[in-house]
Structure 1
């Protein structure tokens, strides 16, 4: 695996509202936040570009709604913003894909000459997956740092219920097997970015 010197790290929706377990239910991958922090540190330390994405939910009951404390980035992310030596972008969105946010992520990546993105954040099967899929469709070389993501139990059609780990694995299989992105580990990304 090769990580280009200008590969962008997309830190998707690492917000306090996702810590409200009563709203979301059981989650997987308790080590995800440590992996996300490690990726940010490597990217900032190497002068690579970092994009911080925040979901501004329009749903009045959502812990991610604008004006609610949960809308803010988790402390370890907020403390790292503005600390890198490379380019940094802050994107807000109201839908799943960071490519439908403001400012225009695709336009910024193209203006910076960036062709490769590494995606980390929350939730694996929602905004991470949608951003990765769209990035692949737009022609970017997309890597998803699987262990730097997490999600929650989910109920679907016909009363089907999947645990968070099953949901995350299904998302990873769909992304990787479908050719939208390469699903890798944080360790592999860090080693290649060194």
Structure 2
């Protein structure tokens, strides 16, 4: 595994709303620490950092623009020179300029972290892979929540996370842990 000097770190939906208790039980309690380690590496090495912010169309969403949940958590506040992509659907490529900006900058590799694994992370990674980007998903820098499956069977956040990563690995993205990315950095 080779981490390119131009690899972009895409941090998805690290907004205040994702910490709301009404979202339920989550997995991977150290995900944010891992995201911050990767962010520190990217900033230290001058690689591109892309912050994705969800602006929900639904007033009952934790990411509704009319309340503080839409704001970035202070520890994930974009710095000067870092990109901001605002989206209204889970996929960070859909109806945004993300693909065009990556191509204009000559970026062919992306490392994706954030929330929720089975939602915005998975949909963004699928599109990245389908568009031909070398997409990596840092499995221990993502998390999700308990969720019932289609048939109503309750699934733990760990199960939802694992299935989502299984959907991605090998077909749309390479799923790795942060230690491997940091070692490649």
Provide TM-score, normalisation by structure 2.
0.97
In 1: Cα distance, 2:112 partner to 2:118 partner? 12
Task: Give 5+ residue unaligned stretches, structure 1.
Answer: none
User: Residues 14-40 of structure 1, C-alpha deviation per residue, up to 9 Å, x if partnerless?
Assistant: 11101111x211000000010011111
| Cα RMSD after superposing both structures | 1.0
User: Residues 69-122 of structure 1, C-alpha deviation per residue, up to 9 Å, x if partnerless?
Assistant: 1111111101xx216xxx5210000101100143x0000000000000000001
Task: Give 5+ residue unaligned stretches, structure 2.
Answer: none
- The counterpart of 1:112, out of the listed 105, 108, 112, is 105
In 2: Cα distance, 1:183 partner to 1:60 partner? 34
- Aligned 8 A contact 1:91 1:105 in 2: yes
Partner of 1:54: 53
Write the mapping of 1:17-36 to structure 2, written as runs, cut at 5 A.
17-21=17-21, 23-36=22-35
User: Residues 37-87 of structure 1, C-alpha deviation per residue, up to 9 Å, x if partnerless?
Assistant: 111110011000000000001111111110211111111101xx216xxx5
Partner SS, residue 107 of structure 2: coil
Partner of 1:192: 184
Higher mean Cα deviation, 168-177 or 131-140?
168-177
Runs of 4+ in 1 over 3 A off after TM superposition: none
Partner of 1:142: 135
Partner of 2:10: 10
In 2: Cα distance, 1:148 partner to 1:38 partner? 9
In 2: Cα distance, 1:101 partner to 1:36 partner? 25
Write the mapping of 1:13-162 to structure 2, written as runs, cut at 5 A.
13-21=13-21, 23-78=22-77, 81-82=78-79, 88-102=82-96, 104-162=97-155
C-alpha displacement of 1:172? 0.7
